[in-house]
Amino acid sequence: MNSINRVVVRAENVSKVVPTAEGELTILAGVNLEINAGESLAIVGASGSGKTTLLGILAGLDAPSSGAVALDDAVITDMDEEQRARVRGRCVGFVFQSFQLLGSLTALENVMLPVELRGERTAEDDARALLAKVGLGDRTSHYPRQLSGGEQQRVAIARAFASKPTVLFADEPTGNLDTATGERVIDLLFELNREFGTTLVLVTHDSRLAERCDRSIEISGGRLL
Amino acid sequence: MAARLAWRDWRSGELVLLSAALIIAVGTVTAISLFVDRLHQALLLESANLLAADRYISSSAEIPQAFRDAAAAQGLDMADVMVFPSMIFAGEDKNQLVSVKAAGEGYPLRGKLIVADAPFARGTPTTELPARGEVWLDSRLFPALGVALGDQVEVGMHTLTVTQVLVNEPDRGGSFFDMGPRLLMHLDDVPATEVVQPGSRLSYRLLLRGESDVLDGLKETLPLEPNFRWVGIQDASPRIGNALDRGESFLLLGGLLGVLLAGVAVALSAHRYAQRHYDHVGVLKTLGATPGDVLWGFLALLLIVGLVSVLVGLAAGALMHLAIVEALSAMIPVQLPLPSFRPFLVGSATGLICALAFAMPPLVHLRHISPMRVIRRDLGPTEVSQFVTYGAAAAGSLALLIWYSESLVLTLWTLLGTLGVLLVFGGLAMLMLRTSRVVGMQAASIWRLALSALQRRHRESTAQIMIFGLAMMLLSVLFLLRTALLDEWRTQIPENTPNHFVLNIAPDEVEAFDTLVATASDQRGGTYPIVRGRVVAVNDVSVKSMREAQEAAGDQSDGPRLGGERNLTWSIEAPEDNAIVAGEWWAPDDPRPQVSLEDEYALERGLALGDELTVDVGGVEVKAIVTSLRKLDWESMRPNFFIIFSPNVLDDFPATYMTSFYLPREGKRFLNELLGRFPTVTVLEVDAIIEQVQSIVDRVTQAVELVLSLVVVSGCLVLLASIQASKDARMREHALVRTLGGTRRLIRGSLAIEFAALGLMAGIVAVVGAEVTVSVLQTQVFELSNRLHPELWLTVPVLGALLIAAVGLLGTRQVVSSPPMMVLRGL
């Protein structure tokens, strides 16, 4: 599909340093990275290697200490939180390890949320279709606490695709799920990814998941290997 | 968007506590304000009854027409009254000195005249006045004059017909010389009596009725000085004025503390609401919500919730106040006037300010939540924002308190006390909890699990101790002040205070008189000889030349003068309620001529210990040295004297005697027997005044009790909100303990101990804080004497422990009863 080699995520010399009681701690050091449109990329590494921090910075959830990040041609490191939020709303989707559904909203309302935030009116029909697609067409009015982990993650995936994002970031999407459920969730993720032509960036330490991606990079001690 | 957010949060129960806190804040304040407002109006009316007007102008000279014109121009209602003593005659040989009141149309402007068809009957209110040619007489005058209804009496040169028995008049009190038995007649009959002659003792009054501010405005414009006295309730009866002032201060303080407590509850629940939405906001932000979206979304939500809560709160407050009025209707015999609009305004403003100052800051700070929180859960709002939060709450409270109490002094003292206590004890509690920090959760024993939980959450525990402590402190303060006020009022006019004064008892009658009074009354005041005399010289310098010297020095001050004729007495013992403040009372056998002066009397006239006074008694001069100064309670309703001599100075002068005794209402007939036996004595009845004072004090007391109970409700709400605020952390921890094998008993026990410990420490904070605050408030605001309250030192901490443990266990039932899995997944 989107086979033209357009770069949608670009990181240049990205570093992240945080102050701690024992002095400065370098979490990321001079990371350079380009991700093409339609590509699926796995970021792997041990716990504490900095992969989740990198994901957060690439997605514009966090700002680097130095370096630049461009997302869909927008240099998000030059932006304030207000502007970054707009970029996120326009072209980024997320799937988290801990699902992060809003407990006070039903499955349907959770999926409608990103479109509602953009102020579009078609939210409900689209959301119902997406929920049907992830196999939860009959659970639309259920609250997250009434759903199993796998079901919650499927709602989260439906929510991630609801805004038709350019890039989908996933942080350990199967981390809280058993193997079989994890498999089904991953199948669903890749299936929708293909269907929507989304760029997929996921952080995982699950080697089988990493193998299914087009490309895989390893991070250790804050540096790409 | 915000409406949908609000609706969803409401549906899921997230907003219930915040909304409940707001509703209760608004409801409590509205109910207190409504009730106080109506009660205040009722009390004002009732106290106005004591004047038969809202204000009056009194003078020994006729009230100028210009005054009437000015009052009429302001739209005030007026009535004229004249009071004078006169000897009246009936039949051939009966006569009696009476106090005549001649009233013009409109009298009384406040309160009602009570009349009856027979002497000593209970009587009924009337709106009439005696018609021209008629008089109404005090019950006592019927036997004294030997008249019946329809008979005639002579007042001066005029003959009038007795048509009613006058049982009571609203302004029966007044000055002492106005206290003979009453004859009420029409003002227009006065000229015909020809009693108004140069030199007659007349008192003219112009009664006024209208709005307070209009009256105060009028007072400013009239040339009152030096001949016309402007009289309000404070001037006419300082005792009632004081009771009213203090009662109102207390009600305000109570309402104010209620507001503060409700504010704390609102802040706590808003804080909890915000905390539970950190993830929510994180997710919204990853989905593209800008900080602005978050800010306006939650502000709009707060606005919606605030508006709805204020409306519900106003309605709840109105209902609550109706319930109170209904419940107290038996105790409140007066018809309450309709409430003004202000209470609803106060309620709405309270809701608004509570929402702005207490609920908004935590919600505003939600926009600072980093979207990274969805990945890293430890990211909360920054520290700086917390200071802003507390700052906003403090500013909000201050604004609310000052506006509500309209008293900077009261507000500042309350806030200072509160702040001081919070700082000192917050630090102390923190220190206490930190020093003995233990390692691990110590889940092996109930006690250690509880104590380790307290320490692990030492920040939250400190906050809770302070909040519980604050709530309990405010309640204690209110309770102590209430008790002090009630005690003060009760001791001011004890039961069976002498309510009849008798003057002009001849020396040879004293014994027989005492014997007769003893048959009807067992409560007696002292018996004092009275000689009339005036001070003519101080240290051999004549008062006249002192005055001339003063005038020559250009001193135009018309301050208190020496030289007027006064009642003088002598006594071996000092009167029991007089306190010697300087010098010493004479020994019984001390032969030197000495005199004791009232403290302020001496001060105002420049007299001091050691001065020699020369007193003229019926043309004979006597001298005595000032050897003591006394303080006396002018409100004690006992005979009081400025000047008391030692026994050997005035012994030789012809004296009459005065005394006082208590007579219950149903024993009033005894006065006839008394006056029959001793026709020359003068009886002054002050029982009506005392009853009026007591009824007003009772009314204020009820209001005080009521406000206390409403504030207790607010206090309980704070406790609940505070426990709710820490529920999540507790639930997660205890669910974990249970997952790991802890029994329900362990958890319930540890929770009970944890809460009891919190309550105990909070109780200690509360007691110390209350003692400090009360002592300041008592001395600075209420002008009561100060003392410590050891009876609270144990009670409050123990009550605190029990109460917090009970409320805490009730509030965390879920922690114990819901399956751990549900708890862990729900959070």
Instruction: Between B347 and B698, name the one with better pLDDT.
Output: B347
Contact between B607 and B597 under an 8 Å Cβ cutoff? The reply is: yes
Structure letter (DSSP) for residue B173: -
List strand residue ranges (DSSP E) for B550-691, in order: 566-570, 579-583, 594-598, 612-617, 620-631, 643-645, 656-661, 682-685
Contact between B50 and B236 under an 8 Å Cβ cutoff? The reply is: yes
CA B723, B724, B726, B731 torsion-angle sign: positive
Q: Phi then psi for B136, rounded to 5 degrees? A: -110, 135
Positions in chain A whose pLDDT score sits under 70:
1-4, 104
Q: Which residues pair with B96 in a beta bridge?
A: B88
Are B288 and A94 within 8 A, CB to CB?
no
B134 Cβ contact list (under 8 Å, min separation 6): B160, B161, B162, B163, B164, B185, B186
Which among B99, B105, B82 is positioned nearest to B166, based on CA atoms?
B99
A112 to chain B: closest CA residue: B287
Contact between A188 and A177 under an 8 Å Cβ cutoff? The reply is: no
The pLDDT of residue B559 is: 47
Least confident of A41-50, B275-284, B595-604: B275-284
Q: How far apart are CA A28 and CA A16, in angstroms?
A: 5
Strand duo B203-209 + B77-90: pairing: antiparallel
Compute the nearest-CA separation of B7 from chain A (Å).
10
The pLDDT of residue B99 is: 83
Strand duo B612-617 + B620-631: pairing: antiparallel
- Tell me which chain B residues have a C-beta less than 8 angstroms from the C-beta of A55: 375
In three-state secondary structure terms, B825 is: helix
Q: How far apart are CA B638 and CA B690, in angstroms?
A: 12
Q: Phi then psi for B305, rounded to 5 degrees? A: -60, -45
Compute the nearest-CA separation of A97 from chain B (Å).
8
pLDDT band at B160 (very low <50, low <70, confident <90, very high): very high
Compute the nearest-CA separation of A55 from chain B (Å).
10
Are A94 and B374 within 8 A, CB to CB?
yes
Q: B309 pLDDT exceeds 80?
A: yes
The pLDDT of residue B561 is: 61
Which among B738, B524, B490, B555 is positioned nearest to B639, based on CA atoms?
B524
Q: How far apart are CA B31 and CA B37, in angstroms?
A: 10
In three-state secondary structure terms, B59 is: strand
Compute the nearest-CA separation of B756 from chain A (Å).
33
Domain A7-224 carries which CATH code? 3.40.50.300
Q: What would the two tokens of residue B332 be?
A: 């409140």
* Helices and strands (H and E) in chain B: how many: 27, 22
Query: Who among B288, B290, B825 is closest to A145 (CB)?
Result: B825
In three-state secondary structure terms, B583 is: strand
Contact between A47 and A205 under an 8 Å Cβ cutoff? The reply is: yes
- Tell me which chain B residues have a C-beta less than 8 angstroms from the C-beta of A120: none
| A103 and B CB contact within 8 Å | yes
pLDDT band at B712 (very low <50, low <70, confident <90, very high): confident
A110 Cβ contact list (under 8 Å, min separation 6): A101, A102, A144, A155, A156, A159
Q: What would the two tokens of residue B647 be?
A: 């026994």
Q: How far apart are CA B473 and CA B257, in angstroms?
A: 10
| B9 and A CB contact within 8 Å | yes
Q: What would the two tokens of residue B603 be?
A: 């001060």
| B728 and A CB contact within 8 Å | no
Least confident of A119-133, B298-312, B494-508: B494-508
Q: What is the pLDDT of residues B161-172, one digit of tens each?
A: 999 999 888 876
**How do the domains of chain A map onto residue ranges?**
7-224
Report the pLDDT averaged over residues B642-663.
Answer: 85
In the block, tokens 């012809």 appear at B654
Q: How far apart are CA B673 and CA B667, in angstroms?
A: 11
Query: Who among B4, B284, B375 is closest to A56 (CB)?
Result: B375
Identify residue B641 by its one-letter amino acid code: F
Contact between B733 and B779 under an 8 Å Cβ cutoff? The reply is: no
> How buried is B639 (Cβ within 10 angstroms: 0-12 exposed, 13-18 middle, 19+ buried)?
buried
| A16 and B CB contact within 8 Å | no
Contact between B618 and B536 under an 8 Å Cβ cutoff? The reply is: no
Report the pLDDT averaged over residues B554-573.
Answer: 68
A88 to chain B: closest CA residue: B288
Q: How far apart are CA B30 and CA A112, in angstroms?
A: 41
What percent of chain B is predicted at pLDDT more than 90? 7
Identify residue A28 by its one-letter amino acid code: L
CA B155, B158, B162, B165 torsion-angle sign: negative
Are A117 and B372 within 8 A, CB to CB?
no
Structure letter (DSSP) for residue B533: E
Identify residue B649 by its one-letter amino acid code: V
Q: How far apart are CA A41 and CA A50, in angstroms?
A: 16
The pLDDT of residue B676 is: 75
> How buried is B143 (Cβ within 10 angstroms: 0-12 exposed, 13-18 middle, 19+ buried)?
middle
Which among B46, B265, B261, B112 is positioned nearest to B723, based on CA atoms?
B265
CA A120, A122, A128, A132 torsion-angle sign: negative
Which among B63, B111, B96, B102 is positioned nearest to B83, based on CA atoms?
B102
* Ramachandran area for residue A90 (φ above 0: left; ψ -120 to 50: alpha; else beta): alpha
Cis check: omega of the bond before B797, within 30 degrees of 0: no
In three-state secondary structure terms, A17 is: strand
Report the pLDDT averaged over residues B535-539.
Answer: 87
ipTM value > 0.85: no
pLDDT band at B329 (very low <50, low <70, confident <90, very high): low
What percent of chain B is predicted at pLDDT more than 70? 75
**Identity of the highest mean pLDDT range in B173-187, B191-205, B399-413:** B191-205
Q: How far apart are CA B35 and CA B31, in angstroms?
A: 6
The pLDDT of residue A213 is: 92
The pLDDT of residue B490 is: 66
Q: How far apart are CA B113 and CA B124, in angstroms?
A: 8
Q: Phi then psi for B610, rounded to 5 degrees? A: 95, -15
Q: How far apart are CA B76 and CA B66, in angstroms?
A: 14
CB pairs under 8 A between A and B: 89
Contact between B506 and B680 under an 8 Å Cβ cutoff? The reply is: yes
Q: How many angstroms separate the Cα of B301 from the Cα of each of A106, B292, B385, B527, B724? A: 19, 14, 20, 75, 21
* Cβ contacts of A219-222, under 8 Å, gap ≥ 24: A219/A31, A219/A43, A219/A44, A219/A45, A219/A49, A219/A50, A219/A51, A219/A54, A220/A45, A220/A46, A220/A49, A221/A29, A221/A49, A221/A50, A222/A15, A222/A16, A222/A26, A222/A27, A222/A28, A222/A29, A222/A31, A222/A49, A222/A50
Which among B474, B475, B460 is positioned nearest to B723, based on CA atoms?
B460
| A62 and B CB contact within 8 Å | yes
A161 to chain B: closest CA residue: B287
| A121 and B CB contact within 8 Å | no
B428 Cβ contact list (under 8 Å, min separation 6): none
The pLDDT of residue B252 is: 66
Which among B169, B52, B158 is positioned nearest to B113, based on CA atoms?
B169
In the block, tokens 């805004």 appear at A163
| B378 and A CB contact within 8 Å | no
In three-state secondary structure terms, B445 is: coil
Q: What is the pLDDT of residues B75-133, one digit of tens each?
A: 899 999 998 888 888 877 788 878 899 999 988 888 888 899 988 777 888 888 999 99
Q: How many angstroms separate the Cα of B469 from the Cα of each of B152, B419, B722? A: 73, 12, 12
The pLDDT of residue B175 is: 46
Least confident of A189-203, B63-77, B180-194, B236-250: B236-250
Q: How far apart are CA B792 and CA B396, in angstroms?
A: 31
| A79 and B CB contact within 8 Å | no
Are A61 and B374 within 8 A, CB to CB?
yes
Pick among B375, B382, B823, B825 to test the A interface (most A CBs inside 10 A): B375
Pick among A43, A58, A72, A81 to test the B interface (most B CBs inside 10 A): A81
B334 C-beta neighbours (distance < 10 Å), count: 15
* Helices and strands (H and E) in chain A: how many: 7, 10
